[in-house]
Structure 1
């Protein structure tokens, strides 16, 4: 008998992601997720002990990938600002659904400690561009540049990727005062 192509945990995450996007995390019950899957609530709890654990399981791979991205940039002998901005756009474009979920549920994600992590990443990105002690002006420009890129990936869902990438990176370069 052929094995199913998708694991039960992955199916749960897929259904939960869709329901969270439609209704919000706090307005989606574990019972609704179980009903959508055609399983019992205890079966759902067998895989995920709580809604918070389920939410974290959906976003954790993206968070781990962003941490790895930052660590790889920090390991470089020299950072090319434009290449960093382009790679940052590419990462966030690939994961825009997860970031939309996080943006729509900021309270939930703050409770899980994820907002602090994102803010810490923004600091690290600024240091990649401006060294260990950026001025307030440099730090503010970096926040605008990286935050703007991240926002563009979710703000303009109907713009072709290449066109959006060019515009977002050019805008970030302008914010940082570097040639696009």
Structure 2
């Protein structure tokens, strides 16, 4: 069990309940591991479900597609990248902006090394990023 219990009002029986967001995080972690092993293209929703020991419907309940899972896995990287862009753009000189951007990118590379190692150069991820204007804008602003 997950260590959490909630009583079913109809039966009075306690059942295990995961804290909010826990199931999504489990899907993302399993997906990242499988993406590392098989690439995004080589990973199916069924493989993710099998890794978690749940039905494919349970995965679909959390995410509507594999692309949505992949985007959720890379979103923290882009969130940090956007914060870095805002910090760098607030600097008063080009040298200060460049210094903030470079040191921030090094810190991000370390913090997100697992995600970036898995997705660097993955054609599916490249296509997903290209299809999202806000992600493209973040990359262009950082550059």
Q: One fold, TM greater than 0.5?
A: yes
Q: 1:7 to 1:123 in 2, by over 3 A?
A: closer
1:111-134 deviation per Cα after TM superposition (whole angstroms, max 9, x unaligned)? 2134887775565345xxxxxxxx
State yes or no: 1:90 paired with 2:75. Answer: no
Corresponding residue for residue 109 of structure 1 = 125
Match of 2:92 among 55, 77, 82: 77
TM-score by length of 2: 0.73
Whole-Å Cα distance in 1 between the matches of residues 64 and 117 of structure 2? 24
Moved over 4 A (4+): 114-123
TM-score by length of 1: 0.60
SS in 2 for 1:20: helix
Unaligned runs of 5+ in 1: 127-180
Unaligned runs of 5+ in 2: 5-17
Q: Aligned-pair distance for 1:11? A: 0.6
1 or 2, which has the higher helix percentage? Answer: 1
Q: CA RMSD in A?
A: 2.6
